[in-house]
Each structure stands twice: as C-alpha cells, then as structure tokens.
Structure 1
Amino acid sequence: MDGVERHHTATAYIVAGGRTLLLWHRGLRMWLPPGGHLEPNEDPVQGALREAREEAGLEVAVIPPPGLLRVERPLVLPPPAVILIEDIVRPDQPFHQHIDHVYFTRALGAVDFDAPIPHGPHLWVDAERLAGAFALPAPDGTLVTVAEDVRLLGISAIEAAERENRA
C-alpha cells in the first residue's frame, strides 16, 4: 500500500509451564501477547524483551531458532518467528500499519499464573485451548474471539519452548 504510515513493533509470546500469556488490549479490543512500538535506536529483540518486562512484569529470553549463527563478532540477533504486517484501525488514531517482529520467549524464573501483572487483564492459556477457535471474556464481560494468528503463534511458541527444553 503506497503512502500508508508504518510503525515497527515487537511482540513477545511468553511461555512458562506449557502456557503462553495473552493480555486484553483496550484500544484494539483484542486478546494479544505483550508487544508494542520500538523505541528510538532499539532493535526488535530489545523491544520484545522490554515489552515483556513492562507489560507482564517478567524477565524473558528469546528462544533462538535451531542452527542460529554463533560468532564472537558481529552481534547476532535471533530472527523473529515471523514478521506480520498488521492493519491498525482505531477510532482514536489514523489508519496505519505495524511491521510486527514476533518473537517466542520463555520466562526466566518461576511464574505465578494467578498473580496480577502490570498490564492488567490477562490469561495464561495452554496449547490445547489454543488448538481450536475460542473466545475469552473482555473486562466488560463481552466474549471476544481470539484471533487465528494469535492462537497459531501461541501454539508454535509453546512448541518452541518444549523443543528448547529437550535440547
């Protein structure tokens, strides 16, 4: 699309105990993993780690893909699992797109699945729940269907964490 404003963003699917974290996004009225706009001079990995810390209150590590180049120099960043071009349609903002660098991460340390997090409304969901279409209640009680890409990437993140644990 010519002339469409685009913003770089980073997303962190956080996996712990065979579950991944979904947050209620008030502006988009959707269940999504932690993520947001990259800050000036921030690379996508730094952005994903920061968003996980700010929104979930968790320190996480990116799950590297198998065979990632390992050298002393230059710095090698793990690639995102996928890069999504997302249309952002909100009444409070002009139409734009996000170039979203999506990473699979694992929580460092123990996670209390019932503890509140900085972002607010959230749920930890497992692969079985993500396997088929389902809806979760918004804070106002309205049921909101979890988007297909969110479900499928959540399953892939859980599988990536399981592979890393076996390695």
Structure 2
Amino acid sequence: MNIFSEIAIRARNTIYEDQCNIILSSSSPFSRVTTQGHITASGLVIKDDKALLIFHPYIKRWFQPGGHIDEGESPVETAIREVYEETGYVCEIDPDNQELLDIDIHEIPANPKKGEPAHLHIDLLYGLKVLRQEQSMEDIECRWLTLTDIESARIQRVLAKLS
C-alpha cells in the first residue's frame, strides 16, 4: 500500500476527510503552496527509555522534531534532517523498525507572523536511531523526556503500538 492510500484510510470518517482528499489530489501535496495543508514528516528518537522532544516555539508544547518536506526529499529524509536541524542529533532510520510508525492529521493555527492561514498537517512519523550529537542549527529547546513523562497523546499511542 502506498503512503497516499494509508493517509486516505487514516482520514476516512474524520472531520478532516474532505480536506485531506483535496491535499492528496493536489499537484503539490508536500508543498506549502497547497494552502489547505500539506504532508510533513517527523522523527521519534528513543534512547534508554527516553524520547528526544522539542518545545515548539509557536504552539508552546513538547513534540517530536519534524517539519516540511523539501523538494526532492523523501519523508524519511525529512525526518532525519529536521531532527538534526532542531536538536543537533545525527540520526538514521531505526534498523529494527523501518516502517512508518504513525500518521497524524492535525490543524495548525494561523500564524500571522509567517502570513500563514490555519491549515492541516498530515504528519508521517518515523522511528530514528541516534548516531552522534553535533551543534544544533536552530535555537529550539530540546530535551530527553522519560517515556512515562510524555504528555503527547500521539507519542503515547505510538509507544503503545511499539510495546
């Protein structure tokens, strides 16, 4: 099954179904030019019963690192790049679990500073493994949180699926 089919199944019978179908049928489902929303990617990095999370500077909550898919980039490459840019950790796809871990569809509030209206993110989550740490490219707070201290319902859903 391809990723678009998996997204369509995940969106079925949700309040986001119509909007997801518009995004999936657009000529640029990964691009910010698709104003209804776009497909993004993120990485869940787990080490020693802790997960690497960032404090989102706009939404003000702890999430796994992730972001927009650049032209010519695969979702997995995006997850690896975003983790590196936001945290300084160089990662690779988890060799023990190379499959897509989760698809999450969520609303992003309007951001007047960026001139962005409210829109959807269809986020593809991949499990990553740390290779080494370097200097972060962005000034975003990151922290290793114990798995029991994570409040994100999405990450808890994924952790339950992994155990």
TM-score normalised according to structure 2 size = 0.66
Q: Which has the higher contact order (CA 8 A, sep 6+)?
A: 1
For the Cα contact (< 8 Å) 2:110–2:119, is it kept in 1? no
- Find the counterpart in structure 1 of residue 100 from structure 2: 80
CA RMSD of aligned residues (A): 2.6
Listed one character per residue, the Cα deviations across residues 62-104 of structure 1 (whole Å, up to 9, x for unaligned) are 12566xxxxxxxxxxx431111111111342211111111011
Q: 1:147 to 1:41 in 2, by over 3 A?
A: same
Contact kept? 1:63, 1:104, Cα under 8 Å: yes
What is the match of residue 29 of structure 1? 60
Per residue, is there more helix in 1 or in 2? 2
How many residues align? The count is: 128
What are the superposed Cα offsets for residues 29-56 of structure 1, whole Å, 9 maximum, x if unpaired?
2211110000011110110110111111
Matched residues in 2 for 1:38 and 1:91: separation? 19
Counterpart check, 1:106 vs 2:129: yes
**More off after superposition, 14-23 vs 49-58:** 14-23
Identical pairs, percent: 25
The AA in structure 1 aligned to 2:142 is: H
Q: For the residues of structure 1 that align with 2:75 and 2:51, how far apart are their CA atoms?
A: 20
Structure 1 residues 83 and 104, CA gap change in structure 2 (3 angstroms): same
- Which of the numbers 69, 75, 98 marks the counterpart of 1:44? 75
1: CA distance, partners of 2:146 / 2:135: 18
Structure 1 residues 65, 116: CA separation in 2 closer, same or farther (over 3 Å shift)? closer
Q: State which of 85, 89, 108 in structure 2 corresponds to 1:54.
A: 85
Alignment gaps of 5+ in structure 1: 67-77, 131-145, 161-167
